[in-house]
Amino acid sequence: GGDGSVWDQQKQGLQMGVDVIIATPGRLITHLEMYDIDLSHVRYFILDEADRMLDMGFSDDIMRIVKKLPAERQTIMFSATMPPKIQQLAKTILNDPTEVKIAVSKPNEAITQAAYICTEMQKMGLIKEMFGKPVKSKSIIFSSSKQKVKELAYTLKRMKFNVAAMHSDLEQAEREKVMLDFKNNKITVLVATDIVARGIDIEDIGMVLNYDVPHDPEDYIHRIGRTARANAEGLAITFVSEKEQGKFHRIEQFLEKEIYKIPLPPSLGEAPVYNPKAFNGGRKPNYKSKRNGNGGKKRFFRPKKQE
């Protein structure tokens, strides 16, 4: 991005020839379409935070840039997670790649981690309970779904909070405005997908709330790492529905610690029992079977008793 003078500087550099181009996909494509930019001598193509770029909707842009590059090149992808869409991109643009895995750091000890065990229906009640009084510091609420992000932002706006939503449906200029308003305290609650789980450095975020359990421990680490920055303390709370218990247990195993479970407010009813072995994080639950009256097998769910 940038103003006209920056644009002219970029154009001049690309046309005269440079050793290294560092660019966002959209800005580079605009230059390629408007001017005769020769990329035939590019030897290295590097995608940093590839998973985040795909979350932000840059998949088609990346492929348009790839078509302008020579077939003989080295392509390097950096990605904190390896969801299916990243694996597909790797198969498309990489040739016989070598995969290097680096261990993910554990969370900052200054982050207090806790969780609510609840049903999916109780999550919105928890939001209203937690945000029923003024929030003292900036908060980020993460959800894995764009639709949930929009619904949560709408609910909090009706509760008179200075809130904004951040997801891949927003244009780049809209995202930049939201982040600037959040940094300048015009927005106190940011509801977002994982596109802001990495790459932002705002020091005074007091709480991170996971409305949905992240898909893997690495996503969890990145999310809660938005708080407790610059020697500050922070709070990370996760809502864990019944079908998410297995995923949350894998996070606890990765952290090598049990995360404190906050009792559910009595006004929201009874909380489910925390029994992650019964749910297996989205895999088939533990079923027992017995014969029904017609001689066939009848399946029913029978979780193991807690110790």
Domains of the chain: 4-93 (3.40.50.300), 111-280 (3.40.50.300)
Strands 260-261, 44-47: parallel, antiparallel or unpaired by DSSP?
unpaired
Tell me, what's the pLDDT at 199?
A: 65
- The Cα–Cα gap between 107 and 227 comes to 10
Q: For 187-198, how does the pLDDT look when each residue is reduced to its tens digit (9 = 90+)?
A: 999 999 988 877
Q: For 85-99, how does the pLDDT look when each residue is reduced to its tens digit (9 = 90+)?
A: 888 888 889 988 898
> What crossing angle do the helices spanning 146-158 and 122-130 adopt, rounded to 10°?
40
- The Cα–Cα gap between 238 and 113 comes to 8
Q: Is the pLDDT of residue 139 over 60?
A: yes
> Torsion-angle region of residue 130: left (phi > 0), alpha (psi -120 to 50) or beta?
alpha
Query: How many CB atoms are located within 10 Å of the residue 302 CB?
Result: 13
Q: What is the DSSP string of 144-212?
A: S-HHHHHHHHHHHHHTT--EEEE-TTS-HHHHHHHHHHHHTTS-SEEEE-GGGSSS---TTEEEEEESS
**Buried b vs exposed e over 199-221: b needs ≥16 C-beta within 10 Å?**
ebebeebbbbbbbbbbebbbbbb
Q: Is the pLDDT of residue 160 over 70?
A: yes
Query: How many CB atoms are located within 10 Å of the residue 190 CB?
Result: 26
Placement of tokens 């247990």 in the chain: 249
CB of 50 closer than 8 Å to CB of 86: yes
Range of weakest confidence among 10-24, 89-103, 243-257:
89-103
The two three-digit tokens of residue 193, written as one number: 């997908």
pTM: predicted TM-score of the whole model, two decimal places: 0.68
Residue 238 bridge partners (DSSP): 115, 210
